[in-house]
Structures are given as structure tokens and as C-alpha cells.
Amino acid sequence: MSIIDTGLVLSAPVNLRDLGGIMIDGGVLREGLAIRTDDLAYVTSEVADELVAGGLSAIIDLRSPLEVSVTGRGPLGAHPVGYHHLPLIADVGASMGDKAPELSHEAMGRMYRRMVEGAAPQLVIALNVIAHTPGTAAFHCAAGRDRTGVLAAMLLLALGATDDDIVTDYARTGDNMVAVMARTAPVMGAMWRALGFDAAALENGSSLLEGSMDVSMRSLLDTLRAEHGDPLTPLRAAGLSNATIARLRERALAA
């Protein structure tokens, strides 16, 4: 499969937001530290230029190798921006087994927990990238909801944000899901079909998650606290250091 097979048209992200403005330990998270977004691999050249002019200096790509092979890096690949491919799900097909994924908020929460525990090393690397990138770091998956939401949650936990504020940020994506599904359909539909799944059924199922999105993230945070006390325990076990957390907080509050 190639980008030509998908009928993909370059477009602006529809689920992009700076995490600035969220309350964290010591104050308010400044703008320009981290951006969460839907897929940056097929933004227009104009959007790529605007992001770089606005301070973008590192991209953290959380997609699987298969997804990356479909789109490549797109116009941003022509810019001198650091690129870090850190898949939170290495094999999309294997993660689903022989059937489409269960699409409920509770099931999504369980999947998020598996990401945190199974991809803790990648999440630690991502936090280190954000901590030491001189400009803005942008992280994305395909829709900017699930894998992106997990990394956003881990970053905000490290910065001392409350669970309520983490859930509120995550739930904002619900307002964008119709536009996200329309934007990602050419790539995701082609990939689902290549894996033998019913793309239309998956798209229809995803639309069910537009409301009450807080349940999925709340489930993740509650489970991590119940099992570990400190929800960052899986990441600490994978190498997240107090020095990295301190550096993140220093950068997050810098004027």
C-alpha cells in the first residue's frame, strides 16, 4: 500500500491544540511547550511552514510502523525538525486479533492502561524529548485521541495537573471527532481494509465515542491510582527520572 492508494489529500489538522493554560504544580502551563494533534504526516505545506515558524522543533509520532509506511512524513519531513517515531502500538493488526476492536469507553480505558504498561519505555523517551527540546514538541497519532491522549495524560501527570483537568483536556477531542473521522478516513479506511476489517463498521463505531469521552480517561487514571498509588509508577519503572520531571516542570513554567 502507498499514499497513492488511499486517495489522501493534504489538509490542516482538525484536532490540534496547545496544552498551554492547564493548571499544573506551581502555576499555569505555558503555551509553546507541547502541542497535541491529529496526524501531522499529511498536513499541507502551508501548515508545515506555519508550525515551524511558530517554534515547532520536534515531532513525536506515536503511530504504528504500518501507519507510517502508508503516509510517510509528508511536507514536515522537508523541515529541520527532530523526528521521533515512538509507536505505542507496534502492530495494529496483531493488537486487534481477528476481529474489530471493542468500541466502548470502558474498553478504551483498558486499552489505555495496556499502552501505559506495555509502552512505558516509549512514553519515557517521549517525555524526555519534550523535556529537552529547545522549542515546541508536537505529538500525534492518527486521530489525536487515544495514543495522543495517553501521552498527554502522562505529561500532565508529570507536571502535577489534577485528574479532573487531564480528563477535561482529553474530552475536548470529542467535539472534533466528526472532522477527525472525515480527515483520517482515506488512510485509516485503506489500512483497515488491508487488514481484513470492515472499515465502514469501524468508522460507525468510532462515532459512538463522540459523547461522554471523559469515561475512558477517568477509567485509566482511576485504575493506575488503584493499582500503583502513583499513576506514574509504570513509567518510573521504565526509567522516568525525577530529574526529567523537574526539567519538564521548569520548562513548563518558564516565561
Query: What residue ranges do the domains of the chain occupy?
Result: 14-253
CB atoms within 10 A of CB 16: 18
Q: What is the pLDDT of residue 198?
A: 59
pLDDT score of 174 more than 70: yes
Q: What is the pLDDT of residue 53?
A: 98
CATH superfamily of 14-253: Protein tyrosine phosphatase superfamily (3.90.190.10)
What is d(CA 150, CA 35) in angstroms, rounded to the nearest whole number?
14
Strand 17-18 vs strand 136-140: parallel, antiparallel, or unpaired?
Answer: unpaired
What is the four-CA torsion angle of 96, 73, 183, 213, rounded to 10 degrees?
50
pLDDT interval class at 93 (50, 70, 90): low
- pTM comes to 0.90
Q: What is the pLDDT of residue 170?
A: 96
Closest CA to 138 of 53, 12, 19, 14: 19
Q: What is the pLDDT of residue 1?
A: 39
pLDDT in tens, 234-245: 999 999 999 999
Handedness of CA 21, 22, 26, 27 (dihedral sign): positive
pLDDT score of 94 more than 80: no
pLDDT in tens, 55-88: 999 999 999 998 898 888 999 999 999 999 999 9
| Phi, psi dihedral angles at 20 (to 5 degrees) | -60, 145
